[in-house]
Structure 1
Amino acid sequence: MTATILTVDDDIQMQEMLHLFLTNAGFHVLQAYNGEQCLAHLRSKQPDLILLDIQMPDMDGITLCRRIRSLFQLPILFLTGKLQIEDKLNSLQSGGDDYMTKPFDPLELIARVKSHLRWGMLLAETKEPGRKLVFPGLEIDMERLMVTANGKPVILLAKEMHLLLTLAQNQHRVYHPRQLYELIWIDPAGYSSDIIKVHINRLRKKIEVDPMTPKFIHTVRGFGYKFDSTEY
């Protein structure tokens, strides 16, 4: 089945270029030139992934991403002409899964898109009928891919879920950020420790009682991260 990509950018030339790259790679493409058009597409078309520009009039990409995340759960890849690390971090903290800086290599763009689309299929393959990972204050249903933290259901994005599963299924093992990136993003060339840091922080906010004093996902200074429900 052909995946549908929604491109959101007010630049007509960029839209034409994205349409060319994506259709040549076999994707169906929807286009939106502002935030309201994007939200209208999401309500009626349900694309599989969004390519989202940060700098747009009326509603910038960061604000739009927050609105999307309050309504829909699908991969969002930011395309940004800004080089400041603050803008990149803001794109992830708003709910984005990844970012690419313009100008970009078309082959790398397609590789990133395919990588993000794979996660829905990979998560489906991780389902294990009847199996649950149970820790004090946290339960992961491996069949339904549902998480309950402190007695309340938690909605996780695909990469957050895979990050949690990777750590929780290997309790006490310390992972370097690069290891986590290569396992979950499957894209060594795009590695950034900031991407892992932001996703860890987002995950902590969803499953920890106090994200500043985590009970489950711990930072091992100088090395990386580990899941340890016995350390608290």
Structure 2
Amino acid sequence: MSRSTMVFDEQERERLVDAFRASLESAASARESSEEPAAEPGEPAPAAVDLATLLGEMAVLKNELRLQSRQFKNTLDELRCFGNDLRDHGARLQRELERAREQAAAIEQQTARRFMLALVDLRDRLQNGVDAAARLPSSFLARLLPGSKRFTASLAEGQWLTLQRLDELLASHAVRPMPVLGERFDPERMCVVGVEAAGEAAGVADGTVLREVQRGFFHHGELLRVAQVIVSKKANRT
């Protein structure tokens, strides 16, 4: 019997079950009637039980149950594969999310670095303005016009206050100046822009930072900008 002939719909299966139940009831009724007195003349005789038909219907039901069990197993296998696919998809999404977070953190770090470098450059300009105002000589015109001197002093004080506020802002973002004066030259965080001879009496070793041309800075403990320095070099003996 092929598989196509053994598959029944729900109505056909119920019909076979009802027929099997009716056959069993008929068989029980037949056994009871055999023990009772014979039927009166003219009464219909009970229907005989067809054992071959019952066995055939039982075989059909057994095959149907086997097919249903196989289909249920196939459904479970499909659900298991679907669950595995969902788990793999979730793992891929998690990896992509972590990669996106790392990229976002790297972009944020680069943006913060560029912003801090811009603030440091602004600080250099303010520092140059404050230093230039402090070096202004007292001219004859300034002595004749004291108002211009007070204006210059007020302007220099405003620049100094702005510089101080900018230093506080940099410190709040973990930007710290790099101490280099008097230290040995470090090529990883310093850049030499000049060399000056130091006498033996000064007791300064070669490669010692004498002056700072451009200040270096750290950001969260990492190098933000190298320092431009002038280092010492002893004169050669003749």
Give the helix-richer structure, 1 or 2. 2
Larger Cα-atom Rg: 2
TM tier relative to shorter chain: under 0.3
Give the strand-richer structure, 1 or 2. 1
